[in-house]
Amino acid sequence: MFKKILIANRGEIAVRIIRTCHELGIETVAIYSTADETSLHVQLSDEAVCVGGPKAMDSYLNMKNILMAATALGCDAVHPGFGFLSENATFARLVEECGMTFIGPSGDVIDMMGNKSAARKLMISAKVPVVPGSKGSIKNAEEAVTCADEIGYPVLIKAAAGGGGRGMRKAFSKDEITQAFETARAEAKACFNDDEMYIEKLIVDPKHIEFQILADNFGNVVHLGERDCSIQRRNQKMIEEAPSKALTPLLREKMGADAVKAAKAANYANAGTIEFVLDNKGNYYFIEMNTRIQVEHPVTEMITGIDLIREQIRIASNQPLSLKQNEIKLNGHAIECRINAEDFKHDFRPCPGIVDSVHIPGGLGVRIDTALYQGYRVTSHYDSMVAKVIVHGNNRLEAIRRMRRVLEELVINGVETTQELQYLILHHPEYIKGNFTTSFIENNLDEMVR
């Protein structure tokens, strides 16, 4: 087992990882930018090293400084968290070249699944259902027109390197496709410095259903059930839950088996997520694999009792999975709200500032993952998520009622947040019935904000 792990991240996920390391008796090294000197992850870690200035490029993406800190302080592994360098194959390889273990899959697997067009091809060969779409990449607008004619409208133009919902545009007819293709490609170039594009059929009003998998270095793969992440705004998740009300035990078994098949086809090791869209007829299609721990992992932890960070560390240290598929039981229901420092009444504009008072709720079945404290400054340099509120109940209705109670109690003063919007969603009759798709926020926002 590792003795000392460097956590190449910040905020709540760095805190989350430090907590598990300490429970396992592993020392931690935190990294921070000059904007994060007083952050909670710095205070909770055994050691902390400043790796650069506020801009992510200078600090949390500064591979050289991070690797120097890790080797100088004698770390034997690096946990990348999510975002930043977590899906950077070069970083994963460099960690290993420096004689340490990257807590995640190999650089080659990250590369393969990071190219969503290549991942599609792999899934087709593994006989995992994928959304009907282009065979390979689409080079220009003319090819896009031909391809969309073949697939049939509406279509979704996607960046092979895409993430966070960027580099993606819908086209409902031939009139829209050229413009949609060019905009998506320009965005992909700007965001990822990579403009490889592909096209999928747009599944109208699907649910986003993803499966958590764990795979060890000995070829064992299990799934830990699904998460329903359909409550999204502009392809960014806002509320997640597990299990999904839309899945029967039979469908769960089928999709879970396909998720395991997908991970095996990729020769995957460590924790990963297979994302699907599910239509209203029970058809599901692979859209992508995330090769890291995800923001929404706590809902799976709440219903399985499995610490996913602990499993990641065990797998990386060459231990076999601690559980077999038939030992994994899903208990009750869990919901997570991502509280972002954003003004949802004004197009979700980011709201940096000082949090002058904060009250963190508690009680049975409540978990708050946050790095907030009184006087904390939310900076505009990084992601606007400031807290994850997670609840567990014996059933979905209990979880909904518990989440409402927790959101009533939670106080974050000084910055605008999405808390009120999430509270409203938890009272929406269609949400309560489980009648929602990825279009829910788009269709209901005006009514809820008014």
Beta strands across the sheet bearing 197-201: 168-171, 155-159, 197-201
Query: Judged by CB under 6 A, does residue 365 bind ligand ADP?
Result: no
Interacting positions 27-56 with ligand ADP (CB under 6 A): none
Whichever of 167 and 414 has its CB closer to ligand ADP, that residue is: 167
278 touching ligand ADP, by CB under 6 A: no
**Per the residue annotation, which of 10, 233, 292, 396 is the catalytic one?**
292
Place of tokens 């279009």: 439
Whichever of 200 and 416 has its CB closer to ligand ADP, that residue is: 200
φ, ψ of residue 297 to 5 degrees: the values are -60, -30
Exactly one of 48, 160, 203, 246 binds ligand ADP (CB under 6 A); which one? 203
Residue whose pair of structure tokens reads 């650089």 in the numeric block: 107
With CB under 6 A as the rule, give the number of residues binding ligand ADP.
Answer: 18
112 sits near ligand ADP (criterion: CB under 6 A): no
- 305 sits near ligand ADP (criterion: CB under 6 A): no
For residue 200, the minimal CB distance to ligand ADP (Å) is: 4
Residue from the set 100, 202, 293, 335 that interacts with ligand ADP by CB under 6 A:
202
The three-state DSSP-derived secondary structure of 398-418 is HHHHHHHHHHHHCEEECCCCC
Tokens of 148: 């969309």
Question: ω before 243 within 30° of 0 (cis)?
Answer: yes
With binding defined as CB under 6 A, does residue 144 bind ligand ADP?
no
Per-residue DSSP letter, 133: B
Q: What is the separation of C-alpha 50 from the centre of its chain, rounded to a whole number of angstroms?
A: 26
Number of Cβ atoms within 10 Å of the Cβ of 166: 17
Helix (H) or strand (E) holding 262: helix 249-265
CB of 5 to ligand ADP, least distance (A): 27
Query: Exposure pattern of 400-429 as b/e (b: 16+ CB <10 Å)?
Result: bebbeebbeebebebbbbbbebbbbbbeee
Is 314 one of the catalytic residues? no
Q: Is 277 in the site for ligand ADP (CB under 6 A)?
A: yes
Of the two residues 82 and 423, which places its CB atom closer to ligand ADP in the complex?
82
> 282-309 as b/e, with b when 16 or more CB fall inside 10 Å?
eebbbbbbbbbbbbbbbbbbbbbebbbb
d(CA 102, CA 396): 37
Residue 208 interacts with ligand ADP (CB under 6 A): yes or no: yes
Residue span 229-258 as binding mask against ligand ADP, x where in contact by CB under 6 A, dash where not: ---x--x-----------------------
Q: x/- site string to ligand ADP, residues 156 to 195, per CB under 6 A? A: x-----xxxx------------------------------
Q: Is 280 in the site for ligand ADP (CB under 6 A)?
A: no
Q: Is 134 in the site for ligand ADP (CB under 6 A)?
A: no
User: Could you list the active site residues?
Assistant: 292
The site for ligand ADP (CB under 6 A) is made up of 131, 156, 162-165, 200, 202-203, 206, 208, 232, 235, 275, 277, 287-288, 438
